[in-house]
Amino acid sequence: MLRIIKMNYRCIFTALTGILLASSCDKHEVLSSEQAGLDAEIQQGIAELQSLDSQIAALNTNNVLPELQHGNWLKKNISLEKGLADLSKKCTQGDELLKKLHAKLDAYKALNAQ
């Protein structure tokens, strides 16, 4: 058997090469058409991503990441709350002063009315 393979080595090699080439040609066309379809899908995906990126950029006029923008809003909110607390304290102090002033004014009116 080994002798037959050695003698017909060229014939067997040629036949196997022909079979491989013949079968690979059919697969090549199918794979080429699939590759073209995949390339088209990839290009479509890239276009969609670019569209989404441009929409995000349009929403984000400062080109700041949403996480950073959120942090900035938190800092601003804290400073506004501190300012509101200070104004509330001043308002309370003003109300107390007005009460004292009304008491003094009522006492003055009572003295002058007599």
- Return the pLDDT at 57: 75
Three-class secondary structure of residue 60 per DSSP? coil
Q: Write out pLDDT tens, residues 10-40.
A: 666 676 666 666 655 566 677 777 888 888 8
The residues, ordered by sequence, that sit 6+ positions from 69 with a Cβ below 8 Å of its Cβ are: 60, 62
Question: Rounded to 5, what percent of the chain is helix, strand, coil?
Answer: 90, 0, 10
- Return the pLDDT at 96: 93
CA distance 29 to 35: 10
31: which DSSP letter?
H
